[in-house]
Chains A and B, each alone.
Chain A
């Protein structure tokens, strides 16, 4: 049984390196949560509450879309589900193999050749050596890189690196799949095949959690949605209702 049960999950980011510049960067990069100061004098530190008391339950067949502004906590929530950040308070129970597919192929090294990177990334994505060997022909066929796979990845074009990363990442068999804005995948001709492959991956996934700003993507892939605002869960429900609420909450100032 694959499931995710989150109860009152809260995440605080202490901000290290007090310089104004790095503080500002960190805030923009990570969260739009509430900022507070703790302690006094030299002990004082800045803490950002990135997620504030989130509770929800996901089960087999749930395809959850995360909706919210920049810094609402979508990516942080994905990282919490991936096990990167452990909640400061509250509890999170996850059953099943979690596969986070964020930006790039994990462990990808530009100096290694394509084959070496397939193995390294595969291992980091949680595949066993046998699994990787079994899937190698499929990955090789899909990325269509041919003899380039014998060359160092730094000689690839950006599109080719994206193809390779995509081919590796989508070869996994996850119980729970975490996606941030979908995965980029090269030129137009490739995009169509990529979409088919992505759909197949989601088909064999039990639970999907997808963070995106694209209404179309959320509508196309999800059957439930969560609206996040400043780290709090505002609403959870059917995709159309939640998207509706999201757009109504945009004040004129925010639209401009």
Chain B
């Protein structure tokens, strides 16, 4: 494999990421514009995504609560918080795939830190998350789910998922620019993951032998650092360990790959 031998340019990759972060004026702006733009001339605007999740939850809760032998009062908050967290985490991955292919006109015309595009995707999804979280707020108030200081752990949770999401958009953005089979593949994978991750069912419902499915599922832990605080509880230390570890390893691997192939991105587009 000739590709493995490509010389890494760590200085450029580092400069790209730092300059990209410093250009927060551009990516916060582009992220906002994008959210505004998507829903221009609509009545509910960005809340359409929220409404659709809300309608989905409203419809499904009456089927699934009895199906999973759960009481609606405990199942509804669990499902809402889980689904909103899931939507955020998976959007980072699936939309991350299109980061560079969507930026083709900029990448092939200008020399700028490409990570601006990645941070834009992350920022945009954080904005969307804060729209969707309204569902959880309503459910929590309506069903009087206990709110405590632990609820505030949601914010570090968002930060952890965002930091993970950032490397995923870089890695999947590059892979998708080079190999055009990646986006549909990732889309399919996410659909399957949605069912084998405890979003619709409780992790505890799985028999002892099947717990592996949950334990080693990084998506479960990414969801958990956000979902648990929304339900007024603290995520388990294991979830923090896994997600923080994932952030460190993910960034190290991505950084190395980015250093080797960043210069090839305009050629792939």
The answer to whether B263 touches A86, judged by C-beta atoms less than 8 angstroms apart, is yes
B157 CB to closest chain A CB (Å) equals 31
Bound Cα distance A129, B255 (Å): 30
Question: What secondary structure prevails in chain B residues at the interface with A?
Answer: helix
Q: Does B267 lie within 8 Å of A14, measured CB to CB? A: yes
Contact across chains for A107 and B106 when beta carbons are under 8 A apart: yes
Residue B111 CB within 8 A of the other chain: yes
A28 partner residues in chain B, CB cutoff 8 A:
none
Q: Mark A75-114, 1 if CB is under 8 A from B, else 0.
A: 0000100111110000000000010101110110101100
Q: Name the CB-closest residue of B to A85.
A: B266
Question: Which residues, 1 to 48 on B, are CB-close (under 8 Å) to A?
Answer: 25-26, 29-30, 33, 37, 40
Residue count of chain A within 8 Å CB distance of chain B: 26
Q: Which residues of B contact A232 (CB under 8 A)?
A: none
Quick one: CB contact mask for A47-86 with B, threshold 8 Å, 1 for yes? 0000000000000000000000000000000010011111
**Does the CB pair A106–B111 fall under 8 Å?**
no
Interface positions, chain B 189-238, Cβ under 8 Å from A, are none
- Interface flag for B109 (CB, 8 Å): yes
- Distance between A42 CB and nearest chain B CB, rounded to angstroms: 12
The winner among B30, B106, B108, B109 for most chain A CB atoms within 10 A is B109
Once the chains are docked, how many angstroms separate the CA of A16 from the CA of B29? 33
Q: Which residue of A lies closest to B262 (CB)?
A: A86
Are B40's CB and A111's CB within 8 A?
yes
Instruction: Please report the total number of B residues contacting A with Cβ < 8 Å.
Output: 21
B49 close to chain A: CB less than 8 A: no
Chain A 144-177 per-residue mask, 1 if CB under 8 angstroms from chain B, else 0: 0000000000000000000000000000000000
Contact A119 to B29, CB < 8 A, known contacts A84-B110, A111-B40 = yes
With a cutoff of 8 Å between Cβ atoms, the chain A residues found around residue B108 in the complex are 79, 84
Q: Is the CB of A83 within 8 A of B111?
A: yes
In the complex, what residues of B have CB within 8 A of residue A84's CB?
A: 107-111, 266
Q: Kindly provide the distance from the CB of B45 to the nearest chain A CB, expressed in whole angstroms.
A: 14
Known: A86-B263, A120-B29, A120-B30. A106 touches B37 (CB 8 A): no
Q: Say if the beta carbon of A115 comes within 8 Å of chain B.
A: no
List 11 contacting pairs A-B, 8 Å CB cutoff, sorted by A. Answer: A16-B268, A84-B109, A84-B110, A84-B111, A85-B267, A86-B263, A102-B109, A104-B105, A106-B105, A119-B29, A123-B25
Mark B residues whose CB is within 8 Å of A: 25-26, 29-30, 33, 37, 40, 105-112, 178, 180, 263, 266-268
